[in-house]
A and B are shown apart, each in its own frame.
Chain A
């Protein structure tokens, strides 16, 4: 999947991955795709809640090795 921008949130813990994701999305255009890479296991569920609440689309969410990868399309 192609991402407009990538956010490296590895090594960060709650609530930083979500806060940084929000900050990155703020600077992007509607329809752009943000790829987030995180290591916080809590981000798996938090990212779903975040996207549901904010109306952004969580296109995919997967685990590769010790990393969690999320693709989010800005509303």
Chain B
């Protein structure tokens, strides 16, 4: 490298560093500047893996991806295993207190004092009472609506509208004998683990849900 090609660094004198020590200092300084410049010009990106098909676990990927898109980030969600349920044309997502002990069981309506009481349901009841899952799902849907939290369908529509890239796992379709007609046409791509990893490698934030 020819030193003569370097630009003057000292803004006061316009002088070129001559000795090795100041040349190194100059180089480090320029490198920091360039890296900061590159960092500032970069569009941040988010890559999420969605593997669950229940109503409660459908929220995190869609909330984070739509918010990232609103911040101007590039966002993508890779749906695999039960996560593919979230891409069905007809969404029938359910939630169950069975095997989900942290789920609060509170009334979404009625007097204020009643809405604050948690009524844990024993697994024996939740697991054996026919229709209990539907009941719990319906209660959760009403709670969500009453609190002004969007539905999964609404969040999915916003994701599509705001350019979140929805990609689906090809292997899962074959595994569970799904037909691609069952899924929304907005799916950007059907890919495998390799393609996903290549995309995820460059993401600033990568989450597994």
Q: Are B71 and A54 in contact, CB atoms less than 8 angstroms apart?
A: yes
Q: Are A15 and B67 in contact, CB atoms less than 8 angstroms apart?
A: yes
Asked if A31 is an interface residue, CB under 8 A from chain B, the answer is no
Q: How far is the CA of A18 from the CA of B149 in the complex (A)?
A: 12
Number of A-B contacts (CB under 8 A): 35
Asked if B91 is an interface residue, CB under 8 A from chain A, the answer is no
Q: Are B148 and A19 in contact, CB atoms less than 8 angstroms apart?
A: no
Q: Are B70 and A18 in contact, CB atoms less than 8 angstroms apart?
A: yes
Partner of A12, one of B67, B72, B148: B148
Q: How far is the CA of A50 from the CA of B149 in the complex (A)?
A: 19
Asked if B158 is an interface residue, CB under 8 A from chain A, the answer is yes
Q: Are B158 and A19 in contact, CB atoms less than 8 angstroms apart?
A: yes
Q: Are A14 and B70 in contact, CB atoms less than 8 angstroms apart?
A: no
| Chain B residues near A16 (CB-CB < 8 A) | 148-150
| Chain A residues near B63 (CB-CB < 8 A) | 14-15
Closest chain A residue to B72, Cβ basis: A54
A: residues with CB less than 8 A from B are: 11-16, 18-19, 21-22, 39-40, 50, 53-54
Given contacts A13-B148, A14-B149, A53-B72, 5 further A-B contacts (CB under 8 A): A15-B70, A15-B150, A19-B66, A19-B158, A50-B70
